[in-house]
């Protein structure tokens, strides 16, 4: 990362555009500009630092709000005049308070991510009388773990038969309750994915 080959001379002002992307969700968070000094400070401090065209000085994202962008990876495009920074945001990125500068929610664009968000909402705000998820959380971790075990057994039973619809429904039930168990333990599916990715590297 220290030997990035960037052609700052392509721009008259010596600045290159920088796209900042969430390292986990892959959402584009913001666009800024860097000169050589800003890049050097970014690499040294591990926090994204831009050159502010309005303030005409180096500007570390989050220096006032505390919502820093922690650098995970820096890449240069094929023309060597644009940077991509994959970062971990410590809070909202936009000055308006939005997750991104395009007013988007910063989450993975897949249904399981949406389902995990729904589980969190039901756990925190759901009415146990009307929400199955809230009711299950109220019963505690032992009941949640037991439910996962029951669904796993039902899936194994259906796997031995030849009813595809029942098998898929039991698989869905198991996955749903597994997500609830992960949340109850303070984790999510991305944490499990990270473990699998680490294993894959070995």
Per DSSP bridges, beta strands 16-22 and 83-89 are parallel
Residues of the chain with pLDDT > 70, as a percent, come to: 99
Give the pLDDT confidence of 119-142 residue by residue, as tens digits: 999 999 989 999 999 999 999 999
Structural domains in the chain plus CATH codes:
8-89 (3.10.20.810), 111-201 (1.10.287.1080)
What is the pLDDT, as a whole number, of residue 1? 54
Greater pLDDT, 114 or 156: 156
Q: Which of 45-54, 105-114, 147-156 has the lowest mean pLDDT?
A: 105-114
Tell me how far CA of residue 151 lies from CA of 59, 170, 194, in angstroms: 52, 7, 25
Residues of the chain with pLDDT > 90, as a percent, come to: 87
> Taking a C-beta distance cutoff of 8 angstroms, is the pair 123, 163 a contact?
no
> Taking a C-beta distance cutoff of 8 angstroms, is the pair 25, 90 a contact?
no
């Amino acid at each position: 990362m220290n030997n990035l080959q960037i052609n700052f001379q392509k721009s008259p002002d010596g600045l290159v555009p920088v796209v900042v992307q969430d390292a986990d969700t892959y959402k584009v968070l913001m666009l800024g500009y860097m000169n050589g000094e800003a890049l050097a400070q970014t690499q040294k401090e591990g926090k994204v630092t831009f050159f502010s065209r309005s303030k005409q000085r180096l500007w570390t994202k989050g220096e006032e709000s505390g919502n820093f962008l922690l650098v995970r990876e820096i890449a240069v495009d094929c023309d060597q005049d644009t940077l991509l920074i994959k970062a971990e945001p410590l809070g909202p990125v936009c000055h308006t308070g939005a997750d991104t500068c395009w007013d988007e929610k910063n989450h993975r664009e897949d249904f399981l991510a949406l389902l995990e968000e729904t589980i969190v909402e039901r756990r925190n705000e759901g009415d146990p009388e009307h929400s199955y998820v809230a009711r299950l959380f109220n019963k505690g971790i032992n009941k949640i773990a037991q439910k996962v075990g029951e669904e796993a057994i039902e899936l194994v039973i259906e796997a031995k038969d030849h009813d595809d619809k029942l098998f898929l429904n039991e698989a869905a039930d198991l996955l749903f309750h597994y997500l609830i168990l992960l949340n109850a333990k303070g984790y999510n599916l991305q944490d499990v994915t990270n473990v699998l990715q680490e294993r894959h590297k070995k």
